[in-house]
């Protein structure tokens, strides 16, 4: 139980120690083995996770949670056939498990299966009054761009079960993505009325109000959440958008591109004679990990793929060399931005900075990133391994990273800054800053590595 509490407190090392202590005291405790495996999988340590999860299974555990965690570990190891079978086993045991259904549907979607949501759709048909399942289906429909189907699913659910806050909020998100901000705001505020203060519902409400032309009303809600979670980068992004719409000085204080978007050419890692040689080796390693035909449903890229495992735990020599090469630019960035103690970029203390997560994205022809922010980061990045020839066109800016344009339907809020991608180039910027990319023009891939860095608060 202590391990579970520590895990919820985001203290993974302490949680791991508690689970291992439990196992040492009771080696046949099935739940200690399972919880350790779940933690290790969440920490992108799939080899160790499978050892613990297999032990839990050998002790008799046969639950959806076991197979969900095993499936995630198998995905991290790129054993995709095994991962799909394992997720399918979780769904077979409990078809009403929305998490298992969503993960199975996403894996099939990434693998290019045209009927990726078949198990989820069948479960919804068999359990029409199961709110969680129906919401999961609508969310999957929304994420693949089937806004009309998502709308119908949610309105049919309302007819069966009546209104409830999660449904109103989900419908607001669909309407917002479909470019119907006035209807979205009405649904979002109804959800918030039924469940005031809920962070997820407040998120949709704030976005809907911004898109509907009510930035002052949105700002009141945003600042309530900023006080609750001052380091959550989403709310800083929303606050900056409201400030931009209201023409407040705060916007330029947060979006000072000349200070906060910085470009570095990394040093050639030891053992390589040039960045070209290094990027060739790095690209070969990354290509072997880009096995999916499509993007994850919950990420920003379109027409491309993303690695399944946190590259921080990837033992490839070129990958590890790249991670070490990021250290010097990060130190320079933190020293150079020169912000005061009340600025979000200086709110965590500046004595240390460390990578939190690292991944690779491969964009194909017409591939791009939708505009987004990184909620759990502090400093975010883009490192270019390979870029198409068309990105050198400074007039058209194909494949360039752009800043300032939001994910909301706000036609007047356009991008204000862009950086040309070049192999060997690292771009650093605040995690709260809206960013995306212009589409890649040709069929040649655009291969990148990105990370989030955090600086923990200094002890008081």
pLDDT in tens, 248-270: 999 999 999 999 999 999 999 99
Determine what percent of the chain is predicted with pLDDT higher than 90.
Answer: 92
pLDDT in tens, 166-203: 999 999 999 999 999 999 999 999 999 999 989 999 99
DSSP 27: T
Residue 116: pLDDT over 60: yes
Residue 235: half-sphere exposure toward Cβ, Cα within 13 Å: 19
The C-alpha atoms of residue 454 and residue 42 are separated, in whole angstroms, by 18
| 350 vs 354, more confident | 354
Task: Decide: helix, strand or coil at residue 157.
Answer: helix
- Whole-model pTM? 0.94
Q: Which two tokens stand for residue 323?
A: 């991670």
The C-alpha atoms of residue 195 and residue 202 are separated, in whole angstroms, by 9
Residue 458: pLDDT over 70: no
Residue 337: pLDDT over 90: no
How confident is residue 460, by pLDDT bands cut at 50, 70 and 90? very low
Task: Decide: helix, strand or coil at residue 43.
Answer: coil
Which CATH number is associated with domain 257-454?
2.60.120.620
User: What is the pLDDT, as a whole number, of residue 386?
Assistant: 97
Do the strands 262-265 and 435-437 form a parallel or antiparallel pair, or are they unpaired?
Answer: unpaired
User: What is the pLDDT, as a whole number, of residue 342?
Assistant: 85
| 349 vs 87, more confident | 87
Nearest 5°: CA angle at 177, between 171 and 179? 105
- Is there a contact between 364 and 441 (Cβ–Cβ < 8 Å)? no
Nearest alpha-carbon partner for 373 in 314, 306, 313, 432: 432
The C-alpha atoms of residue 16 and residue 360 are separated, in whole angstroms, by 27
Residue 279: pLDDT over 50: yes
User: What is the pLDDT, as a whole number, of residue 345?
Assistant: 87
- Is there a contact between 452 and 357 (Cβ–Cβ < 8 Å)? yes
User: What is the pLDDT, as a whole number, of residue 347?
Assistant: 58
pLDDT in tens, 322-333: 999 999 999 999
């Amino acid at each position: 139980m202590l391990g579970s509490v520590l895990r919820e407190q985001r203290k993974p090392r302490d949680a791991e120690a508690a689970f291992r202590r439990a196992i040492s005291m009771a080696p046949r405790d099935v739940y200690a083995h399972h919880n350790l495996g779940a933690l290790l999988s969440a920490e992108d340590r799939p080899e160790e996770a499978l050892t613990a999860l297999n032990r839990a299974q050998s002790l008799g555990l046969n639950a959806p949670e076991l197979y969900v965690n095993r499936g995630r570990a198998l995905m991290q190891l790129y054993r995709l056939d095994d991962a799909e079978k394992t997720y399918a086993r979780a769904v077979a045991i409990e078809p009403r498990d929305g998490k298992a259904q969503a993960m199975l549907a996403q894996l099939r979607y990434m693998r290019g299966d045209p009927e990726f949501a078949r198990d989820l759709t069948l479960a919804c048909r068999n359990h029409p009054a199961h709110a969680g399942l129906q919401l999961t289906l609508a969310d999957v429909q929304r994420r693949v761009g089937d806004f009309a189907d998502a709308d119908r699913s949610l309105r049919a659910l309302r007819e069966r079960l009546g209104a409830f806050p999660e449904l109103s909020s989900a419908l607001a998100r669909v309407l917002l993505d479909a470019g119907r901000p006035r209807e979205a705001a009405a649904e979002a505020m109804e959800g918030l009325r039924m469940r005031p203060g809920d962070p997820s519902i407040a998120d949709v409400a704030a976005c809907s109000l911004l898109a509907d032309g009510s930035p002052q009303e949105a700002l009141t809600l945003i600042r309530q959440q900023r006080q609750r979670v001052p380091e959550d980068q989403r709310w800083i992004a929303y606050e900056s958008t409201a400030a931009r719409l209201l023409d407040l000085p705060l916007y330029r204080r947060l979006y000072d591109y000349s200070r906060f978007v910085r470009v570095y050419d990394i040093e050639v890692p030891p053992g390589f004679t040039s960045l070209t040689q290094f990027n060739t080796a790095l690209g070969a390693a990354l290509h072997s990990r880009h096995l999916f035909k499509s993007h994850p449903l919950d990420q920003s890229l379109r027409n491309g793929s993303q690695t399944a495992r946190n590259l921080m735990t990837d033992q490839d020599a070129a990958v590890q060399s790249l991670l070490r090469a990021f250290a010097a630019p990060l130190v320079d960035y933190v020293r150079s931005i020169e912000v005061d103690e009340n600025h979000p970029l200086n709110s965590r203390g500046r004595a240390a900075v460390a990578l939190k997560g690292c991944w690779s994205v491969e964009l194909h022809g017409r591939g791009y990133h939708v505009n987004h922010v990184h909620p759990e980061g502090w400093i975010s990045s883009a490192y270019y391994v390979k870029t198409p020839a068309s990105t050198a066109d400074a007039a058209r800016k194909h494949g360039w990273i752009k800043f300032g344009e939001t994910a909301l339907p706000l036609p007047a809020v356009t991008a204000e800054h862009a950086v040309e991608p070049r192999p060997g180039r690292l771009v650093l910027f605040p995690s709260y800053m809206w960013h995306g990319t212009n589409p890649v023009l040709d069929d040649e891939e655009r291969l990148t590595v990105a990370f989030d860095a955090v600086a923990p608060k200094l002890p008081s």
